[in-house]
Amino acid sequence: MQVLRPSEDVEEFHAHLYFDAVTRTSAVLLHEKMQSFHPRLKVNTLAEGSRGPHVMPMFGMDIPKDIFAEVVSFLVLNRGPHSILIHPVSGNELLDHTHHALWLGPPQPLNLAVLV
């Protein structure tokens, strides 16, 4: 039988918005918008190459649990051509980036070897 984990195991959520040469301009616009979206939303710098398990260019966001619905609702409606990985931060990076992950748009490749 599977042991159920309480939602308190989730510290916060991360979102990673992916882009390429064709979609970089719209990613920059979304990056700028997200920086002023909410004072408690931490928006990281644009990563033009791989960073951690993310092999495509992207930018990440740290989303506090209490503003998760607000941020994700905006991303659902405004992601444009971008795929976005959304995952919890629960202490198990491999599971968080795979089994516990949500995707807006097509899933993108990840280098999971760096998470084990």
Please write the tens of the pLDDT for every residue from 37-60: 999 999 999 999 999 999 999 999
What are the boundaries of each domain within the chain? 11-115
Judge whether 63 and 15 are in contact, CB under 8 Å: yes
Give percent of the chain with pLDDT exceeding 70.
99
**Predicted pLDDT at 65:** 97
**Predicted pLDDT at 2:** 75
Q: Which parts of the chain register pLDDT below 70?
A: none
Q: Nearest Cα to 58, choosing from 25, 86, 16?
A: 16
Sequence-ordered list of residues with C-beta below 8 angstroms from that of 106, at least 6 positions apart, any chain: 83
Q: Is the whole model's pTM more than 0.85, yes or no?
A: yes
**Predicted pLDDT at 3:** 81
* 3-state SS class at 108: coil
**Predicted pLDDT at 58:** 98
If you ran DSSP here, which 8-state letter would residue 113 be given? G
Task: Quickly list DSSP for 16-74.
Answer: EEE--TTTHHHHHHHHHHHHTT-TT-EEPPPBSS-BTTB-S-EEEEEE-GGGHHHHHHH
Question: CATH homologous superfamily of domain 11-115?
Answer: DOPA-like domains (3.30.70.1240)
Find where tokens 């990563």 sit.
47
**Predicted pLDDT at 37:** 97
